Structure 1
Amino acid sequence: MQARDSRRWLILVVLCLSTLVLVIDNMVLSVAIPPLTADLGASAQDIQWILDSYILVFAGLLLTAGSLSDRFGRRRVMVIGLALFGVASLAAAYAADPVTLIAARTVMGIGGALIMPSTLSILITVFDEQERRKAMAAWSAVAMLGLVGGPVLGGALIAWFWWGAVFLINVPIAVLAIVASLVLMPESKGPQTRPDPIGAVLSVAGMSALVWTIIELPHGLSVPALAVAVVALAGFVVWELRTPHPMVPLRLFRNRTFSGGSFSLTLVQIGNGGLLLVLTQYLQYVLGYTPTESGLAFIPMAVASLACNTLGATLGARIGNRRLIVTGFAVSATGFALLSTLDASSGLATAAVSLLLMGAGGGLAMPAAVSALMGTIPAEHAGVGSALNDTIQQAGAALGIAVLGSVLASAYTAAMPATAPAAARLSIGSALGLGDAGIAAAARDAFTTAMSSAFLISAAGVVAAAVLALLVMPKKTASI
């Protein structure tokens, strides 16, 4: 059993702060899209890239960032990431045009890639097997607090100030996390090994090309990008299996717990990809909610998730992770299916029940899945092992946003009357901006029709995740 650090629970607070800054940023941006679009004059493609530029860089650099944290120090890499994230957030807050905002989001993606693998890798090296499950539950609870509290906070900031405040809030959190890291957190590294520059180049090129291909799917298949992704990733796998000093321990996938948990979470991310983006547009454009009210609508999801997160931490050691994962995913899928029944006259009650189910399902399943797969990663590969899981999930999230965004856009256009103006047939925001009551009503109906199709796909993705976990993961995964 590893020695316990006397400051381990304070270190957990730092790790939670570091994760919180990433989660809050992703969530508050979802409620900022409508006012941001109006103020910057951003097109639908601009909005897509404001969202996707972060994911593209984040996913492309995760494996390399995880390897760097193991080699040069997990605290050091996390602090550098927090500094980049904070500075880029400040630039994003005062962006005067979409191009500047996209550039700032790109740098934020670099910072996020340095932060994310370090947080989980430090957690599993600081806490031993007996306390790790409780630490994971606390970390997941804080992440959920940011997930749901982000839209609420973002809505309030937009109401009181302007959309740039949703980025400005990242700065003090990042500064506090940096100071606390330097004061409280000891440095940790993996064993010194030879660097793997070929593996790093192949991973960055392959993952960036893959995510680019996914992002561009709504506009057609980019054959050159797909070719680069296939060649680079195939070369990466071959190289990592042959080199005596691989950057990524691919043998982790031989473990059924790691592979089953990781790929199940990926399918869930595909389903979750467009949840907040689609639902916040429904609340604001269709139901006429303010950004603050839209954020408050997610409270049932937070309450259910926090309650079931605590329950899952207790039950996981008794009944095994697989049962919790499958049960949680089944409950989440039910929530998605219920969301698909929403229409322009539904009101908030159905959405609240749906979010309650999704929060409960996520609270049971997600900590159990992360705990199970992180428990299989050797301490010396904590950073890159965490990054490997994050990378697969981010690819799933990018695929989810691309697919669901494409389904939403095409189904909306198809459901709009052919006689409607071209701009109104492209987006609901443009339709409502015309000031024509008839076109506005048609746009709301068309949007809810398209939204139903997107959420049915999400439900199918989560059901597939549950089936995969049931078939691949062992009945009694190791307790951690």
Structure 2
Amino acid sequence: MEHPTGHPRRWQILGVMVFSLLAVVLDNTILNVALKVISDPDAGLGASQSQLEWAINSYTLVFAGLLFTFGVLGDRFGRKRMLQIGMVLFGLASLASAYAQDPGQLIAARAAMGLGGAAVMPATLAIISNVFAPRERAKAIGVWAGGVGLAVAIGPIAGGLLLEHFWWGSVFLVNVPIVIVSSILIALIVPDSRNPDKAQLDPLGVLLSIIGLVGVVYGIIKIGELGTVADPQVWAPALGGIAVLVAFVLHERRTAHPAFDVRYFTVPRFSTAVASVGLVFFAMMGVMFFLAFYLQLVRGYSPLAAGALMLPFAAAQLIFSPLSAGMVRRFGGKIVATVSMLLVAASLSAYLLVGVDSPILVFEVIAFVQGAAMANIGSPATEAVMSSLPREKAGVGSAMTNTIRQVGGALGVALLGSVLSATYRENVAGTLTVLPEGVRHAAGESITATLGVAESLGARGAALIGPAKEAFVDGMHVTALCSAAIALVGAAVVARWLPGKEKPVPPVARPEKPEPAVV
């Protein structure tokens, strides 16, 4: 049943959607805090660096590869049903992760968590788009985005608190009560919605999307692992994935019932909004990647303190995301998105002011500006995508936005992380000549490795610490400038192609009834 003014319980439903998403988003950031403990053979699982990376990447691979598929399935079989299935899968996989007995079990359980997360994420946004009328939808999506930003920031804090009092598995076990409460609320409050045209199911298109996305994301992950694009392990799956995605586009253009009508990409509002999401997350995630290392290894903060230092980013998200809809109504999407992209570029460039001993207040101000700028891009872009599609395609629209976000973020971490690593290795190489040749290469791979060797050498290794921190900060500056350049590309894209302020449509006058003829 359609509600012209929105569902009567729409704000309660929005609260349930944000709470349901909390576990999925929280888990993506909370795990980073626990990696060091999981690598400990006594307190954790004794996972190697490669195994730790795959504990993260197995989730990303499944999550990004299946987002689009679950968006299609939700539109076809019901978004509430898909959300409930995803929450149960996520809860059970979290339980399995918490009690994993070895790194292999943890990697498999994390992949299962990605499966559940891929079902949850598009369903939440699709349900919001269906229960809110267009005039309130942008504000609701702003609240949803603010909740996402808050969860991203409180993840490290929550992880630090849990690890201070419990074992490493608690960072996964905390998801279970959230899942239980969410499942009850979903059953009681959330209405179901789906695409009324049940004939629109495209198995071949769905299969091609899975194969193509998994291939591209796998190639991106291998870039981060190997630090090069020349290795066949990188370009073979990536090019294969791109070829399959091209086949997907060709198939979608020809089939009578496409999983996603690719002609929407010819609509400037849709394609520009999707591109801006991908570009901003490419730029931002590459920077967020090095911030945890900077705060903990260079500045010496504990995981809990490092997480607390990200609160200005969360506060800005929480403040500005709900306000972004009003900004767009007043100034237009083009101006708001362009100015926000420029602010992102400026904040990224401002990391040049952050050094080994710079006042931490400088970092806090930059984090707040970053959060504010992101809030005024993510919410309007997401709303632009959702409003460009018919309501029955809300699940696919949500999945498309989140898929681009995941792929852009993964590419940012892989490529900009490689820039950081290469710059660090080059800068620190001269300092490591005092080490035996056998350990020199391994010690120069990362700041973690260098500081580990310095610690093992005791007083003799103290001379390595200062140069290692300086080399890392230099690499951080280069990476930040690369990220800022990507953000400037995003600003140019939205300034050129995103539609401006919508002009109010004048009311159509009713035709007057003709006067009766005088006989």
348-357 or 92-101, larger mean C-alpha shift? 92-101
Aligned pairs (5 A) from 1:439-454: 439-454=464-479
Q: Is 1:122 aligned with 2:147?
A: no
Q: Is 1:80 aligned with 2:85?
A: yes
18, 21, 29: which one aligns with 2:20: 18
Cα distance, 1:275–1:89 mapped onto 2, change above 3 Å: farther
- Structure 1 partner of 2:160: 155
- Structure 2 partner of 1:369: 381
Letter in 2 for 1:153: A
CA contact (8 A) 2:420 2:479 kept: yes
- Structure 2 partner of 1:465: 490
Cα distance, 1:378–1:194 mapped onto 2, change above 3 Å: closer
Deviation at 1:127, TM superposition (A): 0.5
Aligned pairs (5 A) from 1:170-319: 170-191=175-196, 192-218=198-224, 219=226, 220-221=228-229, 222-319=234-331
- Structure 1 partner of 2:422: 410
The number of equivalent residue pairs is 479
CA distance in 2, matches of 1:442, 1:97: 36
Deviation at 1:394, TM superposition (A): 1.4
CA contact (8 A) 2:217 2:238 kept: no
- Root-mean-square deviation over aligned CA pairs: 1.9
User: Secondary structure at 2:321's aligned position in 1?
Assistant: helix
CA contact (8 A) 2:216 2:239 kept: no
CA distance in 2, matches of 1:197, 1:125: 25
440, 445, 455: which one aligns with 1:426: 445
Deviation at 1:238, TM superposition (A): 0.5
Q: Structure 1 length normalisation: TM-score?
A: 0.95
- Structure 1 partner of 2:147: 142
- Structure 1 partner of 2:368: 356
User: Secondary structure at 1:175's aligned position in 2?
Assistant: helix
- Structure 2 partner of 1:5: 7
CA distance in 2, matches of 1:90, 1:275: 31
Per-residue displacement from partner, 1:346-400 (whole Å, max 9, x unpaired)?
2422211210110111122221111122111111111112112221221111111
Letter in 1 for 2:54: W
CA distance in 1, matches of 2:53, 2:479: 16
Per-residue displacement from partner, 1:325-359 (whole Å, max 9, x unpaired)?
11122112211111244222224222112101101
Letter in 2 for 1:414: E
Structure 2 residue runs without a partner (length 5+) = 456-460, 505-519
CA distance in 2, matches of 1:360, 1:83: 34
- Structure 2 partner of 1:70: 75
CA contact (8 A) 2:157 2:305 kept: yes
CA contact (8 A) 2:195 2:393 kept: yes
User: Secondary structure at 1:247's aligned position in 2?
Assistant: coil
CA contact (8 A) 1:327 1:365 kept: no
Letter in 2 for 1:26: N
CA distance in 2, matches of 1:410, 1:180: 48
Cα distance, 1:311–1:7 mapped onto 2, change above 3 Å: closer
CA distance in 1, matches of 2:99, 2:503: 48
Aligned pairs (5 A) from 1:48-63: 48-63=53-68
CA distance in 1, matches of 2:154, 2:130: 29
User: Secondary structure at 1:274's aligned position in 2?
Assistant: helix
Cα distance, 1:463–1:43 mapped onto 2, change above 3 Å: farther
- The runs of at least 4 consecutive aligned structure 1 residues that moved more than 4 Å come to none
Letter in 2 for 1:7: R
CA distance in 2, matches of 1:155, 1:478: 49
Deviation at 1:228, TM superposition (A): 1.9
Deviation at 1:477, TM superposition (A): 5.1
Letter in 1 for 2:389: I
Deviation at 1:478, TM superposition (A): 8.4
Letter in 2 for 1:381: K
CA contact (8 A) 2:26 2:154 kept: yes
CA contact (8 A) 1:74 1:189 kept: yes
User: Secondary structure at 2:256's aligned position in 1?
Assistant: coil
Higher relative contact order (CA 8 A, sep 6+): 1
Per-residue displacement from partner, 1:435-470 (whole Å, max 9, x unpaired)?
121222232222222222222222122221111111
Letter in 2 for 1:213: G
Structure 1 residue runs without a partner (length 5+) = none
Q: Structure 2 length normalisation: TM-score?
A: 0.88
Deviation at 1:58, TM superposition (A): 1.1
Letter in 2 for 1:19: L
User: Secondary structure at 2:39's aligned position in 1?
Assistant: helix
CA distance in 2, matches of 1:359, 1:227: 34
CA distance in 2, matches of 1:237, 1:188: 27
CA distance in 1, matches of 2:235, 2:85: 36
Letter in 2 for 1:316: V
- Structure 1 partner of 2:511: none
Per-residue displacement from partner, 1:286-335 (whole Å, max 9, x unpaired)?
11111110011011112222222243232221211221111122112211
- Structure 1 partner of 2:509: none
Tell which structure's C-alpha radius of gyration is larger: 2
389-398 or 282-291, larger mean C-alpha shift? 389-398
CA contact (8 A) 1:31 1:294 kept: no
CA distance in 2, matches of 1:357, 1:373: 25
Letter in 1 for 2:138: R
CA contact (8 A) 2:385 2:397 kept: no
Deviation at 1:176, TM superposition (A): 1.2
Letter in 1 for 2:137: R
Cα distance, 1:458–1:246 mapped onto 2, change above 3 Å: same
Letter in 2 for 1:329: M
